A and B are shown apart, each in its own frame.
Chain A
Amino acid sequence: MRTRSPWPYLLIAPTVAGGAFLLLYPLLKATVISFQHFRMGELIRGGAAFVGLENYVELLSGEEFWQVLARTLAWTAINVVLIVGLATGIALMLPRLRRGLRLALMSALALAWATPIIAATTIFQWLFQSELGVVNWLLVTLGFDSFRGYTWFADGTATFAVLVILVVWQSVPFAALTLYAGLTTIPVELFESARIDGGTGWQVFWKVTFPMLRQLFALITSLEVIWVAKCFPQIWVLSQGGPGDATTTLPVYAFKVARVLHRYDLGSAVAMLTVVLLAIALVANLRRMVRS
């Protein structure tokens, strides 16, 4: 039954107002800017002129954008595969542990999850510090002598690797704890009957666990894709996209172009293309949400 009462509309009014002023309007504005000649002068004086697709043409015809795009795809793929893989392993491990160990592991995951991004980034700078960093000490102690005084942040690949470790470390707890919570909603009888039928651990996972949690896996994977692809503060604080442009992903590139070069038009175009790419990743997820 539908009510003709004004109440529901009054209740959502603040949400709609906030969304219109701080989300929809900026989004439209960013779209418009990406079709304009909008630099330092236009930002101060106003009166930007429309240039059609010029910014997009400049972007897509240059080599840099494609390199950044390829790097972003690699960055996202590597991180998401590691995050979902490790999180699944941990989530399956948790219910099999003794109570004490399980609680300890869950608390540890919660602590890693709750550590603020900038604090965690600062910690990783310290862990991978060249002279006094504990990682280099550990590697040398284990016999990898070439890591004595190794400067991680001078080499593109090494910086990229440190960032992957940081982001995976930060992201696994959310995924693992969510999957574990989902796992606890599956009736125990299902596992028992699968075991009685002689299923191996691997078979039970693919025949029982995974199908039951398919939606949750889809949700987590698409959330992680979006978060990892958009990830900005870690990269900016740790490396500012460097050394060279070894860790410049799309959001870092957009920020650099706008903030450092004052090319707000080009920055908006980069941001818009990122949005389109993420929207593609999102469609599957959104369709699922609408269905339910």
Chain B
Amino acid sequence: MRRLLLNASAVAVLIVTIFPVYWMFLTAFKPTRDIQSDTPTFWPASPTLDHFVTAVNAPGFWTYWLNSLLVTAGAVLIALLVALMAAFAVARMRWRGRGAFVVAVFAAQMAPWEALLVPVFIIARDTDLLDSLAMLTGVYFMITLPFTIVTLRGFLAAIPPELEEAAQVDGCSRLVAFRRVVFPLLAPGLMATSLFGFITAWNEFAFVNVLIIKDQDKRTLPVWLSSFRDVFGTDWGATMAAASLFALPVLLLFLFLQRHVGTGMTAGAVKG
């Protein structure tokens, strides 16, 4: 009886959790007449790719897709490199000011980004970086950086320094020891952190709205998707196809890296 209750509630949670995502993909594949019928169908009877064609052929789709990918990948890669350096300094070296640096990074993790829209706009304008993907990349890099440092530090702390020392005794330089010994062990951590960074940057909506004003070709997918509704009005098939194409890269990446995510969270959260 308890078993039944447990399984029933698990299935209920499963359905509620998965349904919106399922409904998005299902609607995207449904012919328009099925979308507009009074009783919804919950299984693709005669799937069609028409809506995807509409979404992909909408003005700017490929440009925005590429912009989003460039900005996100750029921000994540720079953040990983910069964070790895900082995390190494924090986890493996003793130096004056280390404690203060750690506290500053923790505080920066909670940075009030929404409060910085106007000043960041002014900085961009005064340095001629309005309507530029470089500025957007820089901002997204900074948004993801503190959290990347904290998480990578957690992973680094979990790798015994003796491994590096042993390699150094065997005649490797410190850098080589790091690359050959620590880096492979750190791979899951790097994957988990880059995934979180990717999601954050891929999602960002407020700054792109403020920093990209005139040059429509520099917009990113979140802005495009939010305006897509206004352009296509009640074409829910096309809207859901567009949303699917927007969500797909993150969903695939997430399912692919899922195993590392749980450990990533605890490394960042618990070991702090």
Contacts and interface: CB of A to CB of B under 8 A. Distances in A.
Interface of A: 1-3, 5, 7-9, 11-12, 14-15, 18-19, 21-23, 25-27, 29-30, 33, 43, 90, 93, 96-98, 101, 104-127, 129, 132, 134, 137, 169, 172-174, 177-178, 180-182, 185, 215-216, 219-220, 226, 230, 232-233, 236-237, 251, 254-255, 258-259, 264, 267-268, 271-272, 274-275, 278, 282, 286, 289-290, 292
A15 B149 contact: yes
Contacts of A134: 23, 40
Nearest to A9: B95
B53 interface: no
Contacts of A233: 203, 205-206, 222
A108 B110 CA distance: 28
Interface residues of B, number: 90
Contacts of A254: 114-115
A186 to B, nearest CB: 12
B21 A18 contact: no
Nearest to B246: A119
Closest 5 CB pairs of A and B: A271-B115, A114-B254, A29-B119, A26-B119, A11-B89
A21, A132, A226, A292 interface centre (most CB from chain B within 10 Å): A132
A180 B258 CA distance: 14
Interface string B209-221: 0100000000001
Contact of B122 (A29, A106, A137, A220): A29
A114 B108 CA distance: 24
Contacts, number: 265
Given A25-B119, A108-B18, A268-B118, A90 B13 contact: yes
Given A12-B90, A22-B139, A178-B269, 12 more contacts: A11-B88, A12-B89, A29-B123, A101-B14, A108-B14, A111-B17, A116-B250, A118-B222, A122-B229, A174-B265, A216-B270, A258-B117
B181 interface: no
B173 interface: no
Contacts of B11: 101
A30 B17 contact: no
B206 A230 contact: no
B259 to A, nearest CB: 10
A270 B83 CA distance: 32
Contact of A26 (B88, B105, B116): B116
B202 interface: yes
Interface in B230-244: 236, 239-240, 242-244
Contact of B269 (A216, A259, A267): A216
B48 interface: no
Contacts of A174: 265
Given A112-B18, A219-B269, A7 B258 contact: no
Contacts of A5: 93, 95
B17 A15 contact: no
A2 B95 contact: yes
B198 to A, nearest CB: 10
Nearest to B87: A11
B24 interface: yes
A104 B114 contact: no
Interface string B99-140: 001011111101111111111101100000000000000110
A114 B23 contact: no
A196 B261 CA distance: 34
B225 A118 contact: yes
Nearest to A215: B270
